[in-house]
Structure 1
Amino acid sequence: MLHLRRFAQPSTLALTIMLGMYGSAWAQQPPPEIATESIQLDPAARKAPLPLDELRTFAEVLDRIKAAYVEPVDDKTLLENAIKGMLSNLDPHSAYLEPEAFAELQESTSGEFGGLGIEVGIEDGFIKVVSPIDDTPASKAGIEAGDLIVKIDGKPTKGMSMMDAVGMMRGKPGSDISLSLVREGGKPFSVKLTRAVIKVTSVKSQMLEPGYGYLRVTQFQINTGEEVGKALAKMRKENGKKLNGLVLDLRNNPGGVLQAAVEVSDHFLTDGLIVYTKGRIPNSELRFNADAADASEGVQLVVLINGGSASASEIVAGALQDQKRGVVMGTDSFGKGSVQTVLPLNNDRALKLTTALYYTPNGRSIQAQGIEPDITVTRAKLTREQAAEGVREADLAGHLGNGNGGPERPTMAPIASDSPRPQDDDYQLGQALNLLKGLNLTRGK
């Protein structure tokens, strides 16, 4: 369900706001009817005089390179490299998009693209894994959030640009690639992956136990809000009545389209502010409020986050936390609180420019800080102990019956489950489910 009234901004907002991560950003394709309009600029910026001395220096450097560099370099290459340099030195998320990169960015919102399924960033000059996407070559190979990619097919990544690294990792489906990684300061290790067409399902849901549902959002695409609404309705139908509790899993969710984050938050809120943005240009001042509809029916809610939860997923977690709508559990989120705007240029090129910071309802900027969970639960490996053989009172010969006529409970052999449950091997998810049960017990449900 789209809430277009929230976007009642000046018609000069000739771009689409997105909150995607680094190397595999998620961006909504700018509607054709507004793609050629111009953005409103800060009046002070319009009046600023041209930096003549710096422009003279730039022209002199250009001339010296053309005249003295060991190999001839054409003007187009020099100027495009200069543009890339301007953007890359602003912040990690601003970039100059050449036609291929611009097309890939637009393509990514469709939920199907080629590659490995890794969201990446830059840390200390190395390529860092922000999040592996579920059910992709990266996640199946065991790549984890926080891993540093030090080599791609044997080529060191130190100092490599984000666009170059992403370009090397993308390729023809079925082709192989080798990555060398370092995890938590350990020794480098290599993994071999086969590129695939990445078909991303942004929303997954299932019942954990009768009355308790599980909703996983892997990233925020254009239709994610609608898919979450369908998933909530489906779980309610499966349960036969209102759910007793729900786990909203945003772990390793690298972000996506702002509108989708707003719609997902709105499914759990009936009023109040969801998020607002602030920047220098008038168009960047946006506010998004919840409407009265409540697709979740006020269900008890636990939101799971971790270090791979970034951008749009932090908007959702921050809104639900500030509005006291649910308990946020897990570990600190990534801390990406800036808004990128895609500005189409001539010749199928574009700028991806950071134009604003976003703030939670209570005015928190999570930029470089992240969302701190209400209850910290770190990831852990579960090992099961064999139940010790024992004898209970009901096993003894001649034991007395239950005074109230209740059924006897002798020792029983463990029952093997044919269908393992996700909470059995996911410690954080199991703790979230236990919390929901505890909340319902204390509130008499």
Structure 2
Amino acid sequence: MRKKTNILILLVGFILGAMVSICGSVLAEKDPAVSSKSEDMQTLPFEELRTFTEIFGRIKQDYVEPVSDKKLLEDAIRGMLSGLDPHSAYLADEEYKELQEGTTGQFGGLGIEVGMENGFVKVVSPIDDTPAQKAGIKAGDLIVRLDDKPVKGMTLGDAVKIMRGEPGSQIVLTVIREGAEAPLKFEITRDIIKVKSVKSRLLEKGYGYLRISSFQSGTGESLVEAIDELKKENEAPLKGIILDLRNNPGGVLNAAVDVSDAFIQSGLIVYTEGRIKNSEMRFNATPDDIIDGAPIVVLINGGSASASEIVAGALQDHKRAIIMGEKSFGKGSVQTILPTSNGGAVKLTTARYFTPSGRSIQAEGIEPDVTLARVKLEALEKAKFESIKEADLSGHLSNGNGDKKKSEANEKADDKEDNDKEADGNEAEIRDYPLHEALNLLKGVSILKSR
């Protein structure tokens, strides 16, 4: 038995060494200009590989219970990716299918965008009109138990799998919320999550409201249709619109480009930069503005991330819209999905994205033109807490522009965050103060523009 194990360990080491050698050779062929880097890649890390095979062997021989080779190697891959940044991950075949379902707009579960932080599941944002949002789950909540199972020690994929379950079944989430005296429990009934990414209505004659809850493959087309409907209902050209991106966790990059393009007539929308050539992309606007230059106010908050920040940053840089609300989440990295031969995939951070003026918002976010403090009625306030930001995630990717890009305005905004009050997620129960202020601002800009 011991002889077989030793042979297996040697085989694992040989395979890993061969893989590193092959990868280095392929990369060198792709880009001869980086010969010095490719030489470093081809230098095998023998000491590290020896340590890996030694530990692999110890586990196989001495661990209290037998562990399959598949599990050990898969866990090693997961650890290798999770150590890079909070958004790189290994996706088994089922997890890969769930990711694909999520980008099409229909999937089963609770309706929350989550990430991993210090071994626990952290809520980035609840999705509109889903069981989680209706139950009162909020951005920044830390999920510590799923029913009676502690989250500590689970992978994000394992936790998501438990939360998704059968529609109609129930699950109890135990949540720690900063400022709360004790953990909070939410009993939530799972449902088929059908995310309608764009909602619209006339706030009053001439002024439209567009809410984008997430960026899916068809969001750009849905936005155009929604604006056409608003124009018909208004029976006249719109005087202005409010684009609500609050608690929008992001989604498909091309959808963010389509939404930005709807309002920008020319110029750069967003560009990405990474280490490999095909990670460098530039997206430019096409002619025509769907609302013919009418003013726009964009609402953002700490739950506005990724694709939401692309839109807000592009419209801000082109001076096409006034950005209002709170500083956004600050996720300015691009993840590429690389399918693997076993039916799974690797989600790997391959680039940072930049706004048209060259700003990287990674770990800093979009600073609004008009800052609004978060408010809620004291009678409904049970706990105070700050929403989680990209910069708060352990191992987050650095900004890429360096500290020189951080302005005094950003520093002042950071100092004010402790005094902000968390807005309640249920707009049916309290007045939407940011929306009210956005409409007032929109009216003022519209009047000035008409003179």
**TM-score under structure 2 normalisation?**
0.79
- 1:184 pairs with 2:187: no
Q: Are the counterparts in 1 of residues 327 and 365 from structure 2 also a CA contact under 8 Å? A: yes
CA contact under 8 A between 1:129 and 1:149: conserved in structure 2? Answer: yes
Q: CA deviation at 1:423?
A: 12
Query: Which among 174, 179, 194 is matched to residue 168 of structure 2?
Result: 174
Partner of 2:282: 287
Partner of 1:230: 225
- For the aligned residue pairs, the C-alpha RMSD in angstroms reads 2.0
Amino acid aligned to 1:280: R
Identity %: 63
> 2-side partners of 1:332 and 1:112: how far apart?
29
Q: Indicate if the aligned counterparts of 2:253 and 2:307 stay in contact, CA closer than 8 A.
A: yes
Please tell me whether residue 428 in structure 1 is matched to residue 434 in structure 2. yes
1:332 to 327, 330, 345: 327
> 8 Å contact 1:116–1:194 — kept in the other structure?
yes
Q: Secondary structure at the match of 2:185?
A: strand
Q: Which SS does the other structure have where 1:60 is aligned?
A: helix
The aligned length equals 371
Match status 1:356 vs 2:362: no
Equivalent residue, structure 2, for 1:86: 80
Q: CA 1:213/1:382 → structure 2, altered by over 3 Å: closer, same or farther?
A: farther
CA contact (8 A) 1:423 1:430 kept: no
Q: Distance in 2 between matches of 1:237 and 1:126?
A: 48
Distance in 2 (CA, whole Å) between partners of 1:382 and 1:56 is: 61
Q: Is the 8 A contact 2:376 2:430 kept in 1?
A: no
Kept after mapping to 2: 8 A contact 1:131/1:145:
yes
Structure 1 residue 126, shift from structure 2 partner? 2.5
Give deviations 1:94-120, integer Å, cap 9, x for gaps: 111111001111111221100000001
- Aligned positions of 1:37-436 closer than 5 A: 43=34, 46-47=38-39, 48=41, 49-186=43-180, 187-381=182-376, 425-436=431-442
Give 1:300 deviation, angstroms: 0.7
- Does the 8 Å CA contact 2:101/2:107 hold for their aligned counterparts? yes
CA distance in 2, matches of 1:362, 1:247: 23
Structure 1: distance between partners of 2:128 and 2:320: 27
| Distance (Å, rounded) in 2 between the aligned partners of 1:41 and 1:221 | 33
Q: CA deviation at 1:46?
A: 4.4
* Equivalent residue number for residue 441 of structure 1: 447
Q: TM-score, normalised by structure 1?
A: 0.80
- Bigger shift: residues 252-261 or 117-126: 117-126
CA distance in 1, matches of 2:343, 2:151: 28
User: Equivalent residue of 2:98, what SS?
Assistant: helix
The whole-number CA distance in structure 2 between the counterparts of 1:262 and 1:423 is 34
Shift in CA distance, 123/78, structure 1 to aligned 2, threshold 3 Å? closer
8 Å CA contact 1:41, 1:281 repeated in 2: no
Shift of 1:41: 6.3
Structure showing greater Rg: 1
Aligned equivalents of 1:41 and 1:58: distance in 2? 29
Residue 208 of structure 1 aligns to a residue whose secondary structure is strand
Return 5+ residue gaps in structure 1 as ranges. Answer: 1-37, 384-420
The answer to whether the 8 A contact 2:300-2:327 is kept is yes
Separation of aligned partners in 1, 2:258 and 2:450: 31
After superposing the two structures, state which structure 1 stretch, 329-338 or 184-193, moved more.
Answer: 184-193
CA distance in 1 between partners of 2:70 and 2:102 (Å)? 28
For 2:301, give the aligned amino acid: N
Tell me the alpha carbon deviations over residues 239-290 of structure 1, each in whole angstroms, 9 at most, x when there is no partner. Answer: 1221111000000100001000000000010011111000001101101111
Residue 382 of structure 1 contacts residue 426 of structure 1 at CA under 8 Å; is this kept in 2? no
Q: Hey, what's the Cα distance between the residues in 2 that align with 1:209 and 1:422?
A: 18
In structure 2, C-alpha distance between the alignment counterparts of 1:70 and 1:381, rounded to whole Å: 53
Q: Secondary structure at the match of 1:443?
A: helix
Please tell me whether the aligned partners of residues 208 and 422 of structure 1 are also in contact (alpha carbons under 8 angstroms).
no
Deviations 1:353-375 (A, max 9, x none): 00000011111111111111111
- In the TM superposition, residue 379 of structure 1 has moved relative to its aligned partner by 3.2
Q: Distance in 2 between matches of 1:151 and 1:41?
A: 47
CA displacement, residues 71-93 of structure 1 (integer Å, 9 cap, x when unaligned): 11121111111111101111111
Do the aligned residues in 2 keep the contact of 1:41 with 1:282 (CA within 8 Å)?
A: no
In structure 2, the CA distance between the partners of 1:284 and 1:260, relative to structure 1 (3 Å rule), is same
1:363–1:441: structure 2 CA closer, same or farther, 3 Å change rule?
same
The 3-state SS of whatever aligns with 2:308 is: helix
The one-letter code matched in structure 2 to 1:185 is G
| CA 1:125–1:66: 2 relative to 1, 3 Å | closer
Q: CA-to-partner distance for each residue in 1:151-204, whole Å, 9 max, x for gaps? A: 211323234322222122111111100011122331211010011000010011
Aligned counterparts of 1:382 and 1:437: Cα–Cα separation in 2: 26
Counterpart-to-counterpart distance in 2, 1:423 and 1:151: 28
More helix by share: 2
1:160 match: secondary structure = coil
For residues 150 and 60 of structure 1, the distance between their equivalents in structure 2, rounded to whole angstroms, comes to: 34
